[in-house]
Amino acid sequence: MNILVIGATGGSGRAVCDALLERGHRVTALARHASALPARAGLERVDGDATRASVLDAVIPGHDAIVVTLGISEPTLRVRLRGAQGTRNDVRSKGTAEIVAAARRVGVHRLVVQSSYGVGDTRALLRLTDRILFALLIRPQIIDSEIQEGVLRGSELDWTIVQPVYLTDGDSTEHFTSVDGTIRRNKVARRGVARVHADLVEGAGSVRETVSVSG
């Protein structure tokens, strides 16, 4: 398959690219600085802003599916106090809205989008400590993710929302998934979540569902 990964230079995006390439797929990595990624067989790197329709109209045609891992990679506390400096504060919702519109224009229907556990369907399942942490540290990002998920739910595309719990950079690929918000542990390695993304673009399951991912 020919897969487009948008937000490919963040930790989750890199892990998704790795997982897809390991399975023999052709991957196009789109990010503002995608050319900074190491060159690899099967990987095309495209520098561009995913919130710009002209960029998306140029890169999306010819792909079988799109994986979206947009986010803000700057330090959480600084973003909470001062706002993001290098990325739009609404990068998730704005980017996803533009991606949905562009995908519709060229007839790409499969869209797998990473959000966060505790948004939308799983909001009521958060522990009290997590609710407090979300409110104090990442409330703007959570609001942006809520809007992002609303954009997907309002579209006719074959979307799946992936909601991982707290992400780590460990080497483990162990993961547990559910569509009812059930989780096992409160942390999961990005490599494990990346396998879920790869499974979803390869299969036909969980269309218009939210998939929770834990360790």
Contact between 190 and 135 (Cβ < 8 Å): no
The pLDDT tens digits for 37-66 are 999 999 999 999 999 999 999 999 999 999
Q: Is it the case that residue 202 has pLDDT exceeding 90?
A: yes
Contact between 70 and 91 (Cβ < 8 Å): yes
Angstrom distance (rounded) from CA 143 to CA 149: 10
pLDDT of residue 30: 98
pLDDT of residue 79: 47
Pick from 214, 151, 198: nearest CA to 22: 198
Instruction: Give the helix/strand (H/E) hosting 211.
Output: strand 209-214
Contact between 34 and 8 (Cβ < 8 Å): yes
Instruction: Give the helix/strand (H/E) hosting 144.
Output: helix 139-153
Angstrom distance (rounded) from CA 24 to CA 22: 5
pLDDT of residue 121: 87
pLDDT of residue 83: 66
pLDDT of residue 75: 59
Pick from 45, 40, 7: nearest CA to 21: 40
Quote the pTM value: 0.94
Supply the CATH classification number for the domain 2-214: 3.40.50.720
Angstrom distance (rounded) from CA 80 to CA 13: 23
Residue 213 class from Cβ within 10 Å (0-12 exposed, 13-18 middle, 19+ buried)? Answer: buried
pLDDT of residue 87: 77
Over range 116-135, report the average pLDDT.
Answer: 92
Q: What is the mean pLDDT of the chain?
A: 93
Lowest mean pLDDT among 94-98, 129-133, 167-171, 197-201: 129-133
The band of 125, judged by pLDDT with boundaries at 50, 70 and 90, is very high
Q: Is it the case that residue 201 has pLDDT exceeding 50?
A: yes
| Sheet containing strand 2-6, strands side by side | 43-47, 26-31, 2-6, 65-68, 110-114, 158-164, 209-214, 176-178
The pLDDT tens digits for 70-98 are 987 655 555 455 666 667 889 999 999 99
The band of 134, judged by pLDDT with boundaries at 50, 70 and 90, is confident
pLDDT of residue 76: 57
Angstrom distance (rounded) from CA 126 to CA 168: 19
Over range 4-24, report the average pLDDT.
Answer: 98
Q: How many CB atoms lie within 10 A of CB 125?
A: 14
Phi/psi of residue 116, nearest 5 degrees: -150, 140
